[in-house]
């Protein structure tokens, strides 16, 4: 057995901050595929709430794979995995994708489970979104389980676990913080000076976000920025999906590459605050401004944990 195979067999779990924005999620998907995906993995379970970025992560892990829940493929019927012929037939795809929550509206769960098991037994790879919903019918666990909430959890389960429902319980509880942080991040962008907005880059922190500025320290007033964002939060403006590049904040259209990962209105952002200083990273020559949401953590102004997952 190769060294890499032994490492995968001994892998318990890994955790990443779940990035916000399409490009960063794509990059994380590529990284996960390189580090954790084995050629022998036939059943891959993806777990998380709608809008958590599961489909984008899959596109990063499997470039070119046609997702059956894409807007352009909604009317593709029958579901390709249900068309696998005993003799191979004319459709010989190696990798199949299905979204259980979506497909359950068209096909009974036991039929979907039988199709998944049949494909795996024929040597096909199957990527299943909302794997927690189908696992009681499959009665087997995935070779690789990935949960998306505020963090991305990667685990290679055994018969002893972790079980899909356990992963779901973790990510379903934490995704609300990611949605609040993403919304607060975009609200901050509304009030950044144009020069700083143009050079602003984004990274992640637990229960919050980080805005980065290369070389030159910003000179805007952090207290004033916080006040303006809090005023918009107090107005409880609706937040809506416009397209894959924009969201609506009240009557304003704002650029965003993760338009589905937001709270429904600004008033849903809880306890927003900005850390009242810039952190300087001398290696990247970058000034960092941290924003937080949710419960206040003791000592957060000096113990902010950064993840250098930069757009």
In a domain, 171, yes or no: no
Do residues 102 and 212 share a domain?
A: no
Lowest mean pLDDT among 6-10, 69-73, 220-224, 250-254: 6-10
Q: How many CB atoms lie within 10 A of CB 244?
A: 12
The CATH number of the domain where 73 resides is what?
3.40.50
Say which residues have a Cβ less than 8 Å from residue 249's Cβ, sequence separation at least 6: 186, 187, 190, 232, 237, 239, 266
144 and 180 fall within a common domain: no
pLDDT confidence of residue 301? 59
- Any domain includes 168: no
| b/e burial code for range 283-306 (CB count within 10 A of at least 16 → b) | eeebbbbbbbbbeeeeebeeebeb
Find the domain containing 23 and state its range. 3-162
Work out how many domains the chain is built from and give that number: 2
State pTM to two decimals: 0.84
Whether the pLDDT of residue 309 is over 90: the answer is no
Q: What is the mean pLDDT of residues 56-78?
A: 78
The reply to whether 194 and 258 lie within a common domain is: yes
Instruction: Express each pLDDT in 223-250 by its tens digit.
Output: 999 999 999 999 999 999 999 899 999 9
Q: Residue 169 domain-assigned?
A: no
281 and 143 in a single domain? The answer is no
């Amino acid at each position: 057995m190769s060294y890499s195979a032994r490492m995968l067999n001994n892998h318990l779990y890994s955790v990443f901050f779940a990035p916000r924005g399409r490009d960063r999620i794509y990059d994380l998907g590529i990284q996960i595929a390189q580090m954790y995906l084995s050629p022998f993995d036939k059943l891959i379970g993806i777990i998380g709430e709608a809008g958590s970025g599961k489909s984008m992560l899959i596109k990063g892990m499997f470039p070119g794979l046609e997702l059956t829940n894409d807007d352009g493929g909604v009317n593709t019927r029958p579901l390709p995995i249900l068309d696998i012929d005993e003799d191979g037939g004319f459709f010989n795809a190696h990798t199949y994708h299905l979204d259980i929550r979506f497909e359950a509206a068209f096909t009974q769960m036991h039929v979907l489970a039988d199709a998944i098991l049949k494909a795996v037994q024929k040597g096909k790879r199957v990527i299943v979104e909302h794997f927690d919903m189908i696992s009681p019918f499959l009665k087997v666990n995935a070779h690789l389980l990935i949960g998306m909430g505020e963090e991305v959890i990667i685990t290679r389960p055994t018969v002893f676990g972790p079980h899909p429902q356990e992963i779901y319980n973790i990510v379903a509880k934490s995704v609300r913080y990611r949605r609040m942080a993403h919304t607060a991040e975009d609200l901050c962008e509304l009030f950044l000076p144009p020069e700083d907005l143009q050079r602003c880059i984004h990274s992640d922190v637990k229960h919050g976000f980080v805005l980065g500025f290369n070389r030159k320290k910003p000179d805007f007033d952090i207290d004033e920025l916080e006040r303006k964002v809090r005023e918009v939060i107090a107005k409880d403006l609706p937040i809506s999906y416009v397209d894959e590049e924009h969201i609506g904040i009240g009557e304003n259209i704002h650029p965003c590459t993760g338009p589905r990962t937001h709270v429904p209105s600004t008033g849903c952002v809880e306890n927003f605050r900005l850390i009242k200083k810039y952190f300087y990273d001398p290696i990247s020559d970058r000034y960092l401004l941290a924003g937080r949401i949710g419960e206040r953590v003791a000592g957060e102004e000096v113990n902010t944990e950064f993840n250098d997952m930069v757009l």
